[in-house]
């Protein structure tokens, strides 16, 4: 294990949800819990067996650590391990604090040209990498991203990076779609009160064809329905956003058109890839951060996220550091 002095911690929708509602699905907050799972910091101390890190190293933290080497770990899909430790998922404490202890194997050294803030953004970026891998995005793909929050935006960034020829992104909010344009969306579509079929038709007319791949980042029933209708026959729909447990969808439409519906659970094997992309400047994730607060103003930061202002809110945990 290593002891870290925390630096940058991003606030995620799930953090806000636990704070407001005390549960997400089967994960219920029963005791006080530290939030935060999008984080970077500096190594202060290392355990006796740790060889790849030393005090002073700047690291990004992968929040999910398997507790045992089970069949899922053996096949490289450790995110599915049922006993996994995960920051800020009850009952496991997160890392929105000054000092934090974590498994050394899940702390990744940041190159000098990758900032702490970018290091903290690797967590949401990883969702995009994992989802686009599961979707099979490749050279020339036409992609429909549903939802233009932080997760919609990282999927947009990664899809473009993986060779997508055109990406259309939808949202209710004009300002979020502006941000999507800024980070590389080819087409944006502000959804008002169209039916799912109408949304699908608009996506097709913008792209000039039906997308082979749809990445659904809202979890809203109507959006999942639109995702099925929009996806080209033989294509893939990846469900990233989580809403209510039971959802009514046109499953027969998907079945008879051989549209594959895939889910994702967090991510695995993404940190080294993300660091390589950030270090080589192949991907620019900095525009996602719109607000910054010191740890003392955590409540204000959480309120900002809850109100849906900006995109990504970042907390600074190190009072001695005054860099943005």
Q: How does pLDDT run across 173-212, given as a tens digit for each residue? A: 999 999 999 999 999 999 999 999 999 999 999 999 999 9
* Tokens standing for residue 129: 């990498």
Give how far Cα 167 sits from Cα of 136, 145, 177, 207, 225, Å. Answer: 14, 7, 12, 8, 19
Count Cβ atoms below 10 Å from residue 323 Cβ, excluding itself. 9
- Residue 3's SS3 state is strand
- pLDDT for 48 equals 94
- pLDDT for 318 equals 82
* Burial class of residue 4 in the structure, from the number of CB atoms within 10 Å of its CB (0-12 exposed, 13-18 middle, 19+ buried): buried
* Tokens standing for residue 152: 């919609």
Domains, the chain, in order of start with CATH, read 2-109+285-316 (3.90.180.10), 129-263 (3.40.50.720)
Question: Do 181 and 207 meet the contact criterion of CB atoms below 8 Å apart?
Answer: no
* Tokens standing for residue 296: 């003392």
Question: Do 148 and 172 meet the contact criterion of CB atoms below 8 Å apart?
Answer: no
Closest CA to 288 of 96, 110, 155, 197: 155
Question: Do 285 and 262 meet the contact criterion of CB atoms below 8 Å apart?
Answer: no
pLDDT (tens digit per residue) in 240-283: 999 999 999 999 999 999 999 999 999 999 999 999 999 999 99
Residues of the chain with pLDDT under 70: 321-324
Closest CA to 22 of 68, 81, 91: 91
- pLDDT for 25 equals 87
| The residue count for the chain | 324
Question: Do 83 and 91 meet the contact criterion of CB atoms below 8 Å apart?
Answer: no
The residues facing 116 across adjacent strands are: none
DSSP 153-180: HHHHHHHHHTT-SEEEEEES-HHHHHHH
- Residues 6 or more apart whose Cβ sits within 8 Å of residue 47: 1, 2, 104
């Amino acid at each position: 294990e290593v002891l870290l002095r925390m630096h940058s911690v991003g606030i995620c929708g799930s953090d806000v949800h636990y704070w407001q509602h005390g549960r997400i699905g089967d994960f219920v907050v029963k005791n006080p819990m530290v939030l935060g799972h999008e984080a970077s910091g500096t190594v202060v101390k290392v355990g006796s067996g740790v060889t790849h890190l030393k005090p002073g190293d700047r690291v990004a933290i992968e929040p999910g650590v398997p507790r045992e080497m089970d069949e899922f770990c053996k096949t490289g899909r450790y995110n599915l391990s049922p006993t996994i430790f995960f920051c800020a998922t009850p009952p496991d404490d997160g890392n929105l604090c000054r000092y934090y202890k974590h498994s050394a194997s899940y702390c990744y050294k940041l190159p000098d040209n990758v900032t702490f803030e970018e290091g903290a953004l690797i967590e949401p970026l990883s969702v995009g990498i994992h989802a686009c891998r599961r979707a099979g995005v490749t050279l020339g793909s036409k992609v429909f991203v549903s939802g233009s929050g932080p997760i919609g935006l990282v999927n947009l960034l990664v899809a473009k990076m993986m060779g997508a020829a055109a990406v259309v992104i939808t949202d209710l909010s004009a300002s979020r779609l502006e941000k999507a344009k800024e980070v590389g969306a080819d087409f944006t579509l502000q959804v008002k009160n169209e039916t799912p079929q109408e949304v699908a038709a608009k996506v097709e007319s913008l792209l000039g064809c039906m997308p082979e791949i749809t990445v659904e980042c809202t979890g809203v029933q109507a959006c999942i329905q639109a995702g099925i209708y929009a996806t080209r026959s033989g294509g893939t729909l990846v469900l990233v956003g989580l809403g209510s447990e039971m959802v009514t969808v046109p499953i027969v439409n998907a079945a008879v058109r051989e549209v594959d519906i895939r889910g994702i659970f967090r991510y695995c094997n993404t940190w080294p890839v993300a660091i390589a992309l950030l270090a080589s400047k192949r991907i620019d994730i900095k525009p996602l951060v719109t607000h910054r607060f010191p740890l003392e103003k955590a409540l204000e930061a959480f309120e900002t996220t809850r109100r849906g202002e900006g995109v990504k809110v970042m907390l600074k945990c190190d009072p001695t550091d005054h860099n943005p």
